[in-house]
């Protein structure tokens, strides 16, 4: 009979432990996902900026040889990440895809000029920097016009600032919520053993002695939860990037691995701190309050 009672208690402890680990893991996954986005926010912003096209339209008198030479020389300038020469034929094909096959029939000769498509370094995608880049490009006698969407640049920079602010607020809220939820989970587990803790304090056990086994359990619980959360998040990233390389390009995997390692450490730290706070409170609870 006594053995049966021990088995029931053991199963309940195991069930409680597993439930706690799952709850903590899910909270850590949310926190780690926000942290991964925040850590890579600069890279994501830079990717959007560097994929904004700047078109350099050349004068009609410019030959293809001169245009190709200019495209090659532009690629070496510090603000240019990539340059692509676009011939009249390529430009006409692009316009046909946008405006239809018959759009050139109204012209006696093709109005499509030779052009160069530029992708700029992300540091230069600001209103002031683009003005300087435009002036530098127009200083070349072969350049007729420099075209880019100024409103898109302003909107992109403004939205990126807003997104960074929102992500920062979300991370702070998730940290608070994570600590609260994990603390409550740990508190419930320890409070279930309040009679044992109270008995230990009655026989003169020091607070550090009482807390030691609970802290060891908290370290294991936090580490296991952190590893599960890190594994789930890494699996999610791999699943999302299986059909496209876009996510791989946007994310710096060194930062991702750093966040995953910090997730394990955060799980341990939050569990240990929560355990110490709860044990300190329960160890000195009065006998009358043990049943409430």
Digit-coded pLDDT (tens) for 165-208: 777 787 778 777 777 776 776 676 666 676 777 677 777 777 77
CATH number of the domain that residue 84 is part of: 3.30.70.3040
Domain boundary among 119, 148, 177: 148
**For residues 182 and 225, what is the distance between their CA atoms, to the nearest angstrom?**
11
Q: How confident is the model at residue 265 (pLDDT cuts 50, 70, 90)?
A: very high
Which has the minimum average pLDDT: 70-84, 89-103, 236-250? 89-103
Per-residue pLDDT at 42: 72
Same domain, 60 and 167: no
Q: Which two tokens stand for residue 85?
A: 């020469």
Same domain, 171 and 274: yes
Nearest to 291 by CA among 192, 199, 211: 192
Same domain, 127 and 161: no
Which has the minimum average pLDDT: 45-49, 108-112, 166-170, 186-190? 108-112
Overall pTM surpassing 0.85 (yes/no): no
7: in domain: no
Digit-coded pLDDT (tens) for 128-149: 788 888 888 888 888 888 887 7
- Residue range(s) defining the domain that contains residue 132: 53-148
Asked whether the beta carbons of 194 and 285 are under 8 A apart, the reply is: yes
Same domain, 40 and 57: no
- Tally the domains of the chain: 2
Q: What mean pLDDT value characterizes the chain?
A: 76
**For residues 144 and 166, what is the distance between their CA atoms, to the nearest angstrom?**
42
**For residues 129 and 160, what is the distance between their CA atoms, to the nearest angstrom?**
17
- Find the mean pLDDT for residues 99-122: 66
Same domain, 114 and 79: yes
Phi and psi torsions of 80, nearest 5°: -100, 125
Which parts of 10-99 are beta strand (E)? Answer: 53-58, 80-86
Domain boundary among 148, 164, 190: 148
The pairing of strands 53-58 and 115-120 is antiparallel
Per-residue pLDDT at 9: 47
259: left (phi over 0), alpha (psi -120 to 50) or beta: alpha
């Amino acid at each position: 009979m006594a053995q049966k009672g021990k088995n029931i208690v053991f199963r309940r402890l195991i069930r409680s432990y597993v439930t706690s680990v799952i709850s903590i893991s899910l909270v850590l996954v949310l926190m780690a996902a926000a942290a991964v986005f925040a850590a890579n926010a600069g890279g994501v912003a830079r990717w959007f900026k560097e994929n904004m096209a700047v078109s350099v339209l050349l004068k009609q008198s410019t030959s293809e040889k001169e245009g190709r030479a200019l495209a090659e020389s532009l690629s070496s300038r510090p603000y240019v990440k990539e340059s692509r020469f676009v011939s009249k034929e390529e430009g006409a094909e692009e316009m046909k895809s946008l405006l239809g096959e018959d759009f050139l029939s109204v012209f006696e000769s093709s109005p499509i000029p030779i052009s160069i498509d530029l992708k700029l370094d992300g540091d230069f995608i600001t209103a002031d920097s683009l003005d300087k880049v435009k002036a530098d490009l127009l200083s070349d006698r072969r350049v007729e016009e420099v075209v880019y969407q100024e409103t898109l640049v302003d909107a992109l920079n403004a939205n990126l600032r807003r997104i960074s602010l929102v992500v920062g607020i979300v991370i702070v809220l998730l940290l608070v919520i994570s600590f609260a939820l994990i603390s409550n989970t740990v508190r419930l587990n320890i409070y279930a053993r309040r009679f044992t803790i109270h008995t230990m304090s009655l026989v003169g056990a020091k607070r550090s002695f009482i807390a030691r086994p609970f802290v060891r359990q908290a370290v294991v619980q936090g580490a296991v939860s952190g590893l599960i959360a890190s594994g789930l998040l890494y699996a999610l990233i791999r699943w999302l990037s299986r059909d496209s390389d876009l996510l791989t390009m946007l994310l710096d995997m060194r930062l991702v691995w750093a966040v995953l390692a910090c997730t394990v450490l955060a799980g341990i730290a939050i569990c240990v701190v929560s355990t110490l706070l709860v044990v300190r409170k329960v160890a000195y609870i009065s006998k009358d309050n043990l049943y409430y």
